[in-house]
Amino acid sequence: MFSDFKLMDERPVYVQLKDYVQDMIVKGHLLEHQKLPSTRELSKLLAVSRNTVLNAYAELELDGIIYAVKGKGHFIGKVTTLETSSIEIDWKQRLNETTLLADEIDLIRQDIHWKKGMISFTSIAPEEKLFDVENFKRAFLTRMSIEGDIVLNYGYAKGYKPLIDHLLSYMEMKGVDISNKDILITNGFTEGLDILLSSLAKKSGRVLCENPTHHAALKLFSLHGLDVHGIDMQDDGIDMEQVEKTLADKDFDFAYLIPSYHNPTGIVTSSEKRSAIFQLFSKYQIPIIEDGFNEELRYSSSHLAPLIAFSGIGNNIVYIGSFSKILFPGLRVGWILADRELIDSLESMKRARTIHTSTLDQAVLYQYLQDGYFEKYLKKARFVYKKKYELARQACIQYIPYSRITGDGGLHLFIELKEDVDARLLLEKCYDKGVVFYPGDVFYTNGRGSNTFRLGFSRLADDDIVRGIQIIGDTLKTL
């Protein structure tokens, strides 16, 4: 007894000693009313200070695990030895269709096994080395010193007021009329879309979107049992002729569009087309869910207004924003900007489902934005990513016999090969040569895109970008 006590980690010794005793009881090595060594004995035996033992015993007594008898010492208290009996439940068989589907269409589960040393173009997460950790710490300490206790206690389902106000004027700067609109803070873009989909009534059950489009959105659409209609992408955005035909032909509950920096193609919808999109969907009274994805990472220098700016005091556009992809994905903070009444209802759903988004995340992000660190960081990030972007694009043009290459910025490029080339076969071959990327078909609504793939370059070193793309190109020629 106690001879096998070892300090496991950097936790205070008395805590580890306390845990040890509890563990011994659980394992049945210490029995009810058994006497414990005196604090003096034990401190000698374990070569720890007597105070440590005293602390541990005091804690154990407080928890009612041991008891003290004056002049006699400490004893193990009531030990409820549980007659456990193990029941086997077949959980899989108790799960619903949606959950099994979520399992099935989970990209991560299908992910190609990345091995150390490989060149992976799969990720479009930001480069960690770029993170502005120091200013983030500053923002944290500033906010904590201003209202640490409030930051750590319950907040409001709608979100942290200072952040909401900041984002409202941020969106106003982009030309949005916010007079009849409001913001709900969510756990990133994904929860925003999920709450929205969970709240909208199914009329036609149909949603119109760009094809290809953001995989997380496609996943949520199918989990919500929606019927997805994808429209081809032209170099300046969605194909309006197809849209017009489709809208004239069928009714839709809403459209989901990523005009600012389209995932996965990286296409930026032109100003003219934005206006045309807004007019057309307004004519058909079909609301648009606008995904503001990476708006901030456009390298083309013309100022483009988001679709919601076109709606003036109208309320038919629901904008979902997030800084995750460029700032700190580890902080799960996104927002829905929409009609005030709609936000009001979404807030109840948010409260019912997660109470509210982490106040800590919101408060620190707010301080970070407020102190102007974001602009500084964005400047640096744009500079670094733009270089990688140009390098990757150049390499693709040089090495890959593509039929189309798109991407006006951001953290990835999208490649379309000749009709008959199978990108998954290409991936297989490249895998053997230590290069992986995302096959494009996962982004398509109708099983198309077998000849496409996405190259994320944000986290790769320059020479890996070039070498990786060269390998892909060489492999292509052998197919």
Give the residue with the Cβ less far from a second copy, 57 or 328. 328
Judged by beta carbon, residue 325 or residue 475, the one nearer a second copy is 325
* CB of residue 74 to a second copy, shortest distance in Å: 14
Backbone angles phi, psi at 205, to 5 degrees: 75, 10
**Touching a second copy, residues 242-281 (CB under 8 A):** 253, 271, 275, 278-279
Q: How far is the CB of 426 from a second copy (least distance, A)?
A: 26
* Residues 51-70 close enough to bind a second copy by CB under 8 A: 59, 62-65
Check: CB of residue 30 under 8 Å from CB of residue 77.
no
CB of 362 to a second copy, least distance (A): 9
Smallest gap, in angstroms, from Cβ of residue 195 to a second copy? 9
Do β-strands 317-322 and 73-76 pair in parallel, antiparallel, or remain unpaired?
A: unpaired
Site for a second copy in 307-366 (CB under 8 A): 309-316, 328-332, 339, 341-342, 344-346, 348-349, 351-361, 364
Q: Is 213 a residue that touches a second copy (CB under 8 A)? A: no
203 binding a second copy? (CB under 8 A): yes
Strands (E), 235-348: 237-238, 254-257, 288-291, 317-322, 334-339
Whichever of 124 and 472 has its CB closer to a second copy, that residue is 124
207 binds a second copy (CB under 8 A): no
Q: Give φ, ψ of 57 to 5 degrees.
A: -60, -45
Which stretches of 317-445 are DSSP H helices? 340-354, 359-370, 373-399, 423-432
Length of the chain: 479
DSSP annotation of 38: P
Q: Which of residues 443-472 bind a second copy (CB under 8 A)?
A: none
Rounded-to-integer distance, Cα 333 and Cα 353, Å: 16
* Environment class of 28 (CB within 10 Å of its CB; exposed 0-12, middle 13-18, buried 19+): exposed
Torsion, Cα 176 177 182 187, to 10 degrees, reads 0
Minimum CB separation of residue 82 from a second copy in Å reads 5
For a second copy, the binding residues in 357-416 under the rule CB under 8 A are 357-361, 364, 370-372, 375, 379, 382
Nearer to a second copy, 141 or 425 (CB): 141
Shortest distance, position 46 Cβ to a second copy, whole Å: 17
Interactions with a second copy, residue window 108-147 (CB under 8 A)? 108-109, 125-126, 128-129, 131, 133, 136-137, 140-141, 144
Q: Cα–Cα distance between 314 and 321 in angstroms, integer?
A: 19
Q: Which of 3, 47, 71, 91 binds a second copy (CB under 8 A)?
A: 91
Nearer to a second copy, 13 or 471 (CB): 13
Instruction: Please give the residues from 152 up to 191 whose contact with a second copy meets the rule CB under 8 A.
Output: 152-155, 157, 169, 172-173, 175, 177, 187-188, 190-191
Of residues 68 through 87, those in contact with a second copy by CB under 8 A are 77-78, 80, 82-87
Residues 282-301 that bind a second copy (CB under 8 A): 282, 285, 287, 300-301
CA neighbours within 13 Å on the CB side: how many for 331? 24
Count of residues in contact with a second copy, rule CB under 8 A: 133
Of 302, 309, 251, the C-alpha closest to 277 is 309
Q: Which of 3, 72, 88, 478 binds a second copy (CB under 8 A)?
A: 88
Binding a second copy (rule: CB under 8 A), the pick from 29, 44, 49, 103 is: 103
Q: Which helix (H) or strand (E) holds 211?
A: strand 206-211
Q: How far is CA 344 from CA 180, 188, 213, 286, 338, in A?
A: 12, 18, 29, 21, 10
Nearer of residues 1 and 95 to a second copy, judged by Cβ: 95
Question: Half-sphere exposure of 268 toward its Cβ, with a 13 Å CA cutoff?
Answer: 20
Measured distance CA(403)–CA(391) in Å, rounded: 19
- Residues in 3-42 that interact with a second copy by CB under 8 A: 9-12, 15, 18-19, 22-23, 26
Give the residue among 333, 267, 257, 263 at the shortest CA–CA distance from 291: 257
Interface with a second copy by CB under 8 A: which range of 97-105, 405-413, 420-428, 447-455?
A: 97-105
Hey, which bits of 19-70 come out as E strands?
66-69
Q: Which residue, 317 or 430, is less far from a second copy as judged by CB?
A: 317
